[in-house]
Amino acid sequence: MNIVKNQVDDLNLQITVNIAADDYAAAEKKKLNEVRRRADFKGFRKGMVPMTLVQKVYGEQVLGESVNEVLSDAINNFIKENKLNVVGEPLPSEDQPELEWKSGNDFSFKFDIATTPEVKLDVTKDDKIPYYSINVTKEAKNEMKENMLKQVGSLQDGKKAGEDDFVIADLSNGEINVEGAYIAVRNVMGDAHAKFVGAKAGDIIDVDVNVAFENETDRASMLKIKKEELAGINPAFQATVKNIKTYVDAEENQETYDKLFGEDKVHNTEEFDAAVEERLAANYKQEADYRLGKDIRDYLVEKANIALPESFLKRWLFKVNEGKFTMEEIEKEFDSFLADFRWQMVRGTIMQKNGLKVDEKDIREAAEGFVAYQYAMYGLGNVPQEMIQEAAKNVLKDENQVRRLEESVEEQKVVAAVKEVVTLQTKKISVEKFRELK
């Protein structure tokens, strides 16, 4: 057996693996004997089937397995011996000649291999990256304060339905009767919307549920039937209004302060205002830090200027995602893929240069942080640590989530390391201008 290498360019090479009959003969013979030992043919005792019959039935399959094993070992050894940083995996060449799969033949295989260059990247204080400081304004503080009071508000009885209110009504079409359906006025579509705005207890509203409630899942839930049953019902309903529920902001008192900030942390309006400003500033800093991470990524990827074997990568993506994506779809997302691929290479280089690693503790803490953030999104800012830890254990059972967390932690470590070295140029900016940044 021999391998002929053809270096196409700096990143692409083609190898021709020539396999002689002697290279696979022993493996083929061993496999055929194993098949013969296990073979169960009518009219023959187990293990006593003539080899000619075994070869006739299983010969081509065994030949393919034997040759492919030799081929796979040859390619892997070639990559290892030549210390190649391979992209994806070797692909059969498009000019691979037809093969006659016959025992005793010699075989010649052509494969395309793509490699990545060494990432040459030095980060110093001469590298300047903007770091935005978002101004905290009185208007923003007032808006946040209002939103927080809304967040812990409550539904109370109202007289007339407004845009943000709920109408509680009995629904009937003569066949289906639903008592006490909660209808969000904002979600009512078509002509019926105007009928629900201003509705009060005792009003009777004619409504075509197919038009007024476009979302089939919500409509089925409201009518207490299965989604599949919707098509067979009469959509003309009467809604008899029983009550109006309006969402009222929470009042400023100790109970509200405790709900928002934890027990006994805030006691009066002045402290409330200060806590709001502190939280708003923390939120802005989080946004600015996220932006800094993005800017560091873009800056380093551009500075590293990594050449990639793009044509090969498109072929490889098409092959490994066979049946999932067309080449047109791959082309559409290819620039984004290349950016991620280059950033992955840059990250790996910086991790290695700085002796950084991601361990189990890092991933566990990241999972707990992710869970705490999810709770906070639903207004639950004071969840016990034990509950967070239990929920994090479930997150860590998902391999995809673990992989995403690992990448996130790696990115955080890289950004933190880079921040220590580069020059951050602080720039004051309004929140409006900040959010206009590309």
Same domain, 88 and 65: yes
Q: In this structure, what token pair is assigned to residue 235?
A: 């959509």
pLDDT tens for the chain, 438 residues: list them: 899 999 999 999 999 999 999 999 999 999 988 888 887 787 777 777 788 887 888 888 999 999 999 999 999 999 999 999 999 999 999 999 899 999 999 999 999 999 999 999 999 999 999 999 999 999 999 999 999 999 899 999 999 999 999 999 999 999 999 999 999 999 999 999 999 999 999 999 999 999 999 999 999 999 999 999 999 999 999 999 999 999 899 999 999 999 899 889 999 999 999 999 999 999 999 999 999 999 999 999 999 999 999 999 999 999 999 889 999 999 999 999 999 999 999 999 999 999 999 999 999 999 999 998 888 777 676 678 889 999 999 999 999 999 999 999 999 999 999 999 999 999 999 999 999 998
Same domain, 221 and 290: no
- Structural domain containing residue 188: 154-248
Rounded CA separation 279/261 (Å): 10
Identify whether 278 is part of a domain. Answer: yes
Q: Which of 299, 306, 310 is nearest to 335 (CA)?
A: 310
Q: Which CATH number does the domain housing residue 236 bear?
A: 3.10.50
Same domain, 108 and 159: no
Same domain, 431 and 324: yes
Identify whether 254 is part of a domain. Answer: no
* CB of 171 closer than 8 Å to CB of 239: yes
Same domain, 351 and 427: yes
Identify whether 431 is part of a domain. Answer: yes
Same domain, 228 and 106: no
Q: How far is CA 417 from CA 349, 356, 364, in A?
A: 12, 9, 21
Same domain, 10 and 102: yes
Q: Which of 397, 340, 408, 419 is nearest to 373 (CA)?
A: 408
Number of domains in the chain: 3
Same domain, 99 and 134: no
- pLDDT value of residue 381: 66
Query: pLDDT tens digits for 312-365?
Result: 999 999 999 988 999 999 999 999 999 999 999 999 999 999 999 999 999 999
Same domain, 295 and 243: no
Of all residues in the chain, the percent with pLDDT exceeding 90 is: 84
Same domain, 319 and 198: no
Residue where a domain terminates, one of 219, 248, 277: 248
